[in-house]
Amino acid sequence: MTLSKQSMSQARVLVVGDVMLDRYWYGAVDRISPEAPVPVVRITREEERNGGAANVAYNVVTLGAQASLLTVVGADEASHKLEALVAQTGIRTHFGRDADLKTTVKLRVIGRQQQLLRLDFENTPKSEILASQTATFTQLLPQHDAVLFSDYGKGGLAHVGDMIGQARALGKPILIDPKGSDYSRYQQASVITPNRAELQQVIGAWSDEADLRTKAHNLRTQLKLDAVLLTRSEEGMTLFDADGQLHVSAQAREVFDVTGAGDTVIATMATLVAAGLTLREALPLANRAGGLVVGKFGTATVSYEELFA
Ligand SMILES: Nc1ncnc2c1ncn2[C@@H]1O[C@H](COP(=O)(O)OP(=O)(O)OP(=O)(O)O)[C@@H](O)[C@H]1O
Ligand SMILES: [Mg+2]
């Protein structure tokens, strides 16, 4: 299956969900603190990256398609940093600001080539701001070809059910990267893309492939989904749909950094579906994208050229 760069560039994906700022502070460790038995890190370099739904949207534009990002952030320094970082990639930003919200930041402190500490800043957004996001969603929806919900469990998708209903009514494909143990709010989506641990949390452990198949199809029917796409790390991925299931084996040649592979997979699926491919047609390409991204250090995106090489 191939797709021209031209048709890819016309695909428009609306990404909605929890964004975060991935922050890295690198420094030198020369001594132990006189205050407590901990190392003193003298920071020499800082790095910032798009995280969560922002990374998903970044994957869409790296593929050469168009992405809009709808999210709620705080009114803090991190939110402005993140918005600038996102806007710089060509993603259209629709950031709602909640003054009581701390923008989600994951700050890693790295000294002597190793991570010494990770600090997480986060809290849950206010419902009024989230309600205003739903109104923005209604306006944005007609100008997009697919909707992607990136749920990182930070509370930004409290109104996801409502938004799914609207997208369904307009016949837009709906792809969801789920979180948590209650998937009832994802009812009527086109496809959800849990990893193994996430799916297990919802359907329980499976004893073998036949058992997995039964459980996955039950979930699909119960939630009225078109499909469930299980991403299985080194085992590749399996799509369960009305016609049965389709499995593709993992493609990675070398594995350096597995973080963000799930983001790349759902972003690729959404982009290709927005460009007119079916889930089954998009599946092997999304798997290829996942395999490519785990072979990269740092950057967690795949280009059009790499995908179709
Ligand atoms: N170790 C690996 N070897 C080969 N391919 C891999 C590996 N890990 C991930 N992949 C590829 O990436 C896809 C998504 O990975 P995975 O199932 O780990 O998602 P995830 O747990 O959601 O990832 P994330 O860390 O982004 O949350 C897999 O289906 C596969 O195509
Ligand atoms: Mg994931």
Q: Which pLDDT score, from 0 to 100, does residue 126 have?
A: 82
Q: Which pLDDT score, from 0 to 100, does residue 258 have?
A: 85
- The residues that are catalytic are 263
Please give the distance, rounded to the nearest whole angstrom, from the Cα atom of residue 134 to the centre of ligand 1.
Answer: 31
Range of the domain at 82: 5-20+51-102+124-307
The rounded radius of gyration (Å) of the Cα atoms in the chain is 20
- Walk along the chain (309 residues) and give the pLDDT tens digit of each residue: 789 999 999 999 999 999 999 999 999 999 999 999 999 999 999 999 999 999 999 999 999 999 999 999 999 999 999 999 999 999 999 999 999 999 999 999 999 889 999 999 998 888 788 888 999 999 999 999 999 999 999 989 999 999 999 999 999 999 999 999 999 999 999 999 999 999 999 999 999 999 999 999 999 999 999 999 999 999 999 999 999 999 999 987 788 888 889 999 999 999 999 999 999 999 999 999 999 999 987 768 999 999 999
Please give the distance, rounded to the nearest whole angstrom, from the Cα atom of residue 231 to the centre of ligand 1.
Answer: 6
Q: What is the pLDDT of residues 269-291, one digit of tens each?
A: 999 999 999 999 999 999 999 99
| Structure tokens given for 116 | 């010494």
Task: Please indicate, yes or no, if residue 214 is contained in any of the structural domains.
Answer: yes
Task: Please indicate, yes or no, if residue 43 is contained in any of the structural domains.
Answer: no
Cβ count near 88 (within 10 Å): 9
Pocket-testing residue among 106, 251, 264, 294, ligand 1, by greatest number of atoms within 8 A of Cβ? 294
Q: Which pLDDT score, from 0 to 100, does residue 39 have?
A: 95
89 lines ligand 1 (CB under 6 A): no
| Structure tokens given for 184 | 């009832």
- Which residue CA neighbors atom 27 of ligand 1 most closely? 262
Task: Please indicate, yes or no, if residue 107 is contained in any of the structural domains.
Answer: no
Please give the distance, rounded to the nearest whole angstrom, from the Cα atom of residue 240 to the centre of ligand 2.
Answer: 18
Ligand with an atom nearest the CA of residue 153: 2
Task: Please indicate, yes or no, if residue 74 is contained in any of the structural domains.
Answer: yes
Three-state SS letters, the chain:
CCCCHHHHHHCEEEEEECEEEEEEEEEEEEEECCCCCCEEEEEEEEEEEEEEHHHHHHHHHHCCCEEEEEEEECCCHHHHHHHHHHHCCCCEEEEEECCCCCCCEEEEEEECCEEEEEEEECCCCCHHHHHHHHHHHHHHHHHCCEEEEECCCCCCCCCHHHHHHHHHHCCCCEEEECCCCCCHHHCCCCEECCEHHHHHHHHCCCCCHHHHHHHHHHHHHHCCCCEEEEECHHHCEEEEECCEEEEECCCCCCCCCCCCHHHHHHHHHHHHHHCCCCHHHHHHHHHHHHHHHCCCCCCCCCCHHHHCC
237 lines ligand 1 (CB under 6 A): yes
**Which atom of ligand 1 is found nearest the CA of 237?**
29
Please give the distance, rounded to the nearest whole angstrom, from the Cα atom of residue 263 to the centre of ligand 2.
Answer: 6
CA-to-CA distance for 177 and 137, rounded, in angstroms?
18
Q: Which pLDDT score, from 0 to 100, does residue 300 have?
A: 86
Task: Please indicate, yes or no, if residue 223 is contained in any of the structural domains.
Answer: yes
Q: Which pLDDT score, from 0 to 100, does residue 286 have?
A: 98
- Residue 280 sits at the vertex; the CA angle it makes with 275 and 281, to the nearest 5 degrees, is 45
Residue 50 main-chain phi, psi, to 5 deg: -65, 130
Task: Please indicate, yes or no, if residue 38 is contained in any of the structural domains.
Answer: no
β-sheet bridge partners, residue 20: 51
Query: Residue 270 belongs to a domain with what CATH number?
Result: 3.40.1190.20
150 lines ligand 1 (CB under 6 A): no
CB-based burial label for 226 (10 Å; 0-12, 13-18, 19+): middle
Task: Please indicate, yes or no, if residue 90 is contained in any of the structural domains.
Answer: yes
- Count of structural domains, the chain: 1
59 lines ligand 1 (CB under 6 A): no
- Which residue CA neighbors atom 23 of ligand 1 most closely? 262
Hunting for tokens 């986060």 — which residue is that? 122
Task: Please indicate, yes or no, if residue 44 is contained in any of the structural domains.
Answer: no
Please give the distance, rounded to the nearest whole angstrom, from the Cα atom of residue 37 to the centre of ligand 2.
Answer: 36
**Stated pTM of the model:** 0.95
Pocket-testing residue among 258, 259, 263, ligand 1, by greatest number of atoms within 8 A of Cβ? 258
